[in-house]
Every structure is written in C-alpha cells, then in structure tokens.
Amino acid sequence: MSQWGVPGSEYEIIKLDDLHHEGPATIRNRGLAQASGEWIWFVDGDDEVKNLSAADASLMVDALRTKDVELIAFNYDECFPDRTVTVSKYQKKVVVDGVMFIKHASGGSYLWNKIFRRSAIGGNRFIDGIFHIEDMCFNLHVIIQLSKIVCLPVIGYVYHRDNNNSISHTNNPQTRIIANEDSLKVYQSLQTLAGHLSGEQRAIIEARLNFDIIAHLYTIFRFDDRRTLRYYAAVYRKMGLIPVRRSHNLKADLFGFFINIFSLFDSCFHPIRHHS
C-alpha cells in the first residue's frame, strides 16, 4: 500500500470509532496519544483523501521531507449532494508564519486540509468532551506559534457536506445547549492563550476572539431565546470580552453595536444567572 508515492511502511493509519459518543475532541486526543509518526493528519471517516497527480504528489512529498516545515496546508473539494465545489485558497506555493496564516484567514478552521509535524503540536490537545469548534481552537493554539507553514496549490482532500450539524446550522434545543457551552469553553481557552502571548501574536488571537464572540452571540440571537442571549452576554462581559470591538466586517460590526448597547442596559437590571 502507498499514498502519493510514499511507501506504506513509512506511515501508519489509526482508525478510531466514537462508539461511546465521547465526541471528536476526545477521540482525536486518543489518536494523538497512539500516533508515533513524524507527521499527523486528522481525516474524518466520512471524507476521502484525494488521489494526486504525479506533479502534485511530488510537491506534497517534498514538503513532508523538508526538515524545518511545521505545517502543510492545501486545497480541497467540497462535495454537496448535488454538486462539488473546489476550494482553491492557494494558487501557488507560499511559505508563511503562523501570524500571517491566521491574519489572512488563509487556512480556515478545518483540520483535514492541514498536515501537522508532530513536534509542532507539542503538548497542545483538544478540549476533552466538546463536540463543536474543537478544531478551530486546536488550530489557533498550534498555528499561532509556528514559524514555517507551506501552503500548496494541491487539492488533497474531499470534504462531504451531506450532513451539516454545525452550531450555526441547527436549532435543535439539546444540540444548541451543548454547542453554546462548548463555545464558551473554547473562548475561555483562547482568552487564556492570548494572555500567554505578546505583540502581534496576542493581537491576532484577540482579534479572532472578538470576532468569534460576536458570531456566537449572533447565532444565539438567531436560534435561542432572550434569556440565553442575556446569560452569555453577561458571561462574556464578566470575562472582559464585551464591549466588543470593531471587526472591520460590516455585518459583524452592526450586530456588535447592538450587543454593546444590549449588554450595557441589561447589566443594569439583571445579574448573571445560568440560562438552563
């Protein structure tokens, strides 16, 4: 067996099933504990690794065998029930550091279009037990510290979008409760991360956190009741994340203005009480 011309003896495949519904974060941590290879690639069971042309395979293998490369990112196909869309973030090979990678949103929050050098992951792990946006949190913790990321104009993955249960696309009450609590844990983790950084690294994480707080509260505004919005706005205010700052995104800034006004008036009349 081989992949992209790499002999099967040079890599291992660890397949883990979530039989006890522990969630992707816990399962991925288990995989990290078992893996012994130099590179780590998180692949979802319902997706596909793309077959590469000889030229693209050569680009990928060359990057994998370059000693100072810490992360490889690449393009992918999004496969919907009625169509397939190629997402080409990288038109040519580029090399950036973690700050530039996050600043220009050039990599997205997905795990599977990135291959991590194991030493670059270090002691970072997923937040055990969470089901939502665990990949975004892990990516930011790891990537912000990196010095050399290679982005390749290679389509290396097929992402199947048949079953979208993301936090921003569901109004199932129980799923919403879990998703909101998971989001809070992630943003607490990112706030802690920012506190350990300085300079541009800190500024980038704080800007991302600011935008994500606005996005989370907007999702609550769409799918949940006012009591839930009041609760999370109060929690984020207590964390120092409200008032939110300008994000330079018009839609986000308009809603951010509403949240700042809502939070200001609400704080005068309502103490923090859990929404459940």
Q: What are the boundaries of each domain within the chain? A: 2-160, 167-267
What's the pTM value of the predicted model, to 2 decimals?
A: 0.90
State whether CATH 3.10.310.30 applies to domain 2-160: no
* Number of alpha carbons in the 13 Å side-chain half-sphere of residue 107: 32
Centroid of chain to Cα 263:
27
* Cis peptide upstream of residue 271 (ω within 30 degrees of 0): no
For helices 24-34 and 134-143, what crossing angle results, to 10°? 50
Task: Give the pLDDT confidence of 8-53 residue by residue, as tens digits.
Answer: 546 678 888 876 788 999 999 999 999 988 999 999 988 999 999 9
Q: What is the largest CA-CA distance in the chain?
A: 66
Q: Please tell me the distance from the alpha carbon of residue 154 to that of residue 92, in angstroms, as a whole number.
A: 9
Contact assessment for residue 110 and residue 159, using Cβ atoms and an 8 Å cutoff: yes
**For 69-126, what is each residue's pLDDT tens digit?**
999 999 999 999 999 999 999 999 999 999 999 988 765 689 999 999 999 999 999 9
| Rounded Cα distance, 21 and 150, in Å | 35
